[in-house]
A and B are shown apart, each in its own frame.
Chain A
Amino acid sequence: MSAIAVSTTINGDEVEFLCQAEETLLDVLRERLGLTGAKEGCGTGDCGACSVMVDGRLVCACLVLGAEAEGRSIETIEGMANGDELHPLQTKFLEHAALQCGVCTPGFLVAAKALLDANPDPTEEEIRFWLAGNLCRCTGYDKIVRAVQDAAQELRGS
């Protein structure tokens, strides 16, 4: 089967790649484009480690075909920091020790940013429900929630 040519936008850059019909967006990001921030945890949309934004919606990259990226705008963890300057969520995750092994962290950061972009002042319950699709086996979640709350406060400038 010949490969499919795809033109898309990733973190603001125009990107072209070839992929097979079966390949997921996660496979393409990691194996063809070298963007290894998004992780494969479960591969079935349960763990959220591969969270990315597609046209402004939070999705699991393991449940999107690479070919579906045609003409879309994709944002990954690699686009979150501004050069060497970390996003406040990234800084707060470090300050609050909201990670241990780190496999879930890129997904949590992308998902948390999507929440704060839509809702700058979420309640703890809203944070926990929004992040229910991101699994972490290390932290017990509490530090992650505190980091998101702290980042939200900083982003609100209060």
Chain B
Amino acid sequence: MQYERPKSLMDAASLLAGAKGSAYALAGGTDLLVIMKNDDFDAELVVDIKSIEGLDEIRETSEAYTVGAAVSCAALGESTMLKEAWPGVVEAANLIGSTQIQGRCTVAGNLCNASPAADSVPALVAAGAKAIIVGPNGNRTIPVEEIPVAPGKTSLEKGEIVEAIQLDKRAPQSGDAYLRFIPRTEMDIAVVGVAVSLSLDDKGLVTSARVALGAVAPTVLLVEPAAEAIIGTKLDDAALERLADVCSAACQPIDDKRGTIEFRKKVSGVLARRAARIAFDRAGGK
């Protein structure tokens, strides 16, 4: 295995594109280093992207925030600006692993690892976040939900790197939230994760919403009918009941030691109701 630490994104992309065997971008390494220890792991090249200028920065423009691919989730959690604008995204990112993992792990890495149970991904999907991608054939920006295509598989082409995650500035009276179920209180993999982001009008009615489910399908699901179930309401009991039913119905979970299909479906609905309520309160809804 070869280790490279390029100084520019273009160099990183050409190194990855030029590798004959398998090649990996290394950000926090909290997933990559674990698989590296498997006996069948065989990589020709690891490209450490942390020395590329700007990748460890959270930036603000007039329309958006960008979180560089090398920003640790611990650093994300220290950003007052992001906690204020996207508290659900920050909370979700801060649920990944332990304090030690937080010191290294990144949201871009969580996305590109393509685990169906990734904690930050439902929150990013609900937030309408975009992935800014650089590659040998140019740059592109796509919705984050288009990156994972199956467990452990992404739509990224050879040589492409997610440079940053972009989160739009918030409209007034907006809020988001992420909740997950795990059997213990800390340090576990989501059995179900639910994120809700919504905006309200002056009368306190939900005008737009995005609902995303994690750990209940091969990839994180953006559930459009769930948004429709609450748009135009003040999250009255009937709307929340519809939201829960739609979320339960959208799940395509597996049975495993963490939870049965039946349990995951039920909990998706319960968490969707609770997350919607938190997002609504954060938006100033009454």
A residues at B contact (CB < 8 Å): 1, 4, 21-22, 24, 43-46, 48, 51, 54, 57-60, 62-65, 67-68, 70, 111, 114-115, 129-134
* Contact status A67-B33, CB under 8 Å: no
What residues of B have a CB within 8 angstroms of the CB of A59 in the complex? 100, 103-104
- A48–B29 Cα distance when bound, in Å, is 15
Contacts of B72 in A (CB 8 A): 57
Most chain B CB inside 10 Å of its own CB: which residue of A46, A65, A134: A65
Note all chain B residues with C-beta closer than 8 A to A64: 29, 33, 104
Q: Which residues of B contact A70 (CB under 8 A)?
A: 5
B residues lining the A interface (CB < 8 Å): 1-3, 5, 26, 29-30, 33-34, 36-37, 46, 48, 50, 72, 74, 97-101, 103-104, 185-187
CA–CA, A133 and B187, complex, Å: 7
18 intermolecular pairs with C-beta atoms under 8 Å apart: A24-B33, A45-B33, A51-B100, A57-B103, A57-B104, A58-B103, A59-B103, A59-B104, A60-B100, A62-B33, A65-B3, A65-B33, A65-B46, A65-B48, A68-B50, A70-B5, A132-B99, A133-B97
Instruction: Flag if B3 contacts A67 (CB, 8 Å).
Output: yes
A45 touches B36 (CB 8 A): no
B97 contact set on A, CB distance < 8 A = 45, 133
Interface of A is mostly: mixed
Min C-beta distance of A127 to chain B, whole Å: 11
Q: Are A1 and B187 also in contact (CB < 8 A) when A45-B97, A133-B99 are?
A: no
Contact B99 A111 (CB under 8 A): yes
B100 to chain A, nearest CB (A): 5
Flag if A132 contacts B103 (CB, 8 Å): no
Given A132-B98, A133-B187, A63:B2 Cβ within 8 A = no
Residues of A within 8 A of B30 (CB): 45, 63
The 9 lowest CB-CB distance pairs between A and B, nearest first, are A133-B98, A57-B103, A21-B3, A132-B186, A63-B33, A59-B103, A60-B100, A21-B1, A133-B100
Q: How far is the CA of A70 from the CA of B51 in the complex (A)?
A: 10
How distant is B228 from chain A, measured CB to nearest CB, in Å?
37
Task: Chain B residues near A43: list those with CB within 8 A.
Answer: 37
For B3, the chain A residues whose CB sits under 8 A away are: 4, 21, 65, 67
Question: Do the beta carbons of A44 and B99 come within 8 Å of each other?
Answer: no
* Bound-complex Cα distance A132 to B188 (A): 11
Which residues of the other chain, B, contact A111 by a CB distance below 8 angstroms?
99-100
Cross-interface CB contact of A67 among B5, B34, B37, cutoff 8 Å: B5
A54 vs chain B, min Cβ distance (A):
7
* In the bound complex, CA of A68 to CA of B33 (Å): 12
A64 to B34, CA, bound (A): 10
CB closest residue in chain B, given A59: B103
| Distance, CA A105 to CA B97, complexed state (A) | 20
> B152 CB to closest chain A CB, in angstroms?
16
Q: Pick the contact of A130 from B34, B99, B185 — CB < 8 Å?
A: B99
Residues of A within 8 A of B100 (CB): 45, 48, 51, 58-60, 63, 111, 133
Q: Please state if A133 and B101 are interface contacts (CB–CB under 8 Å).
A: yes
Docked Cα-Cα span, A111 to B103, in Å, equals 11
Task: Say yes or no: B29 contacts A54, CB within 8 Å.
Answer: no
CB neighbours of A48 from chain B (8 A): 98, 100
| Chain A residue contacts of B74, Cβ below 8 A | 57
Cα of A133 to Cα of B26 in the assembled complex, Å: 22
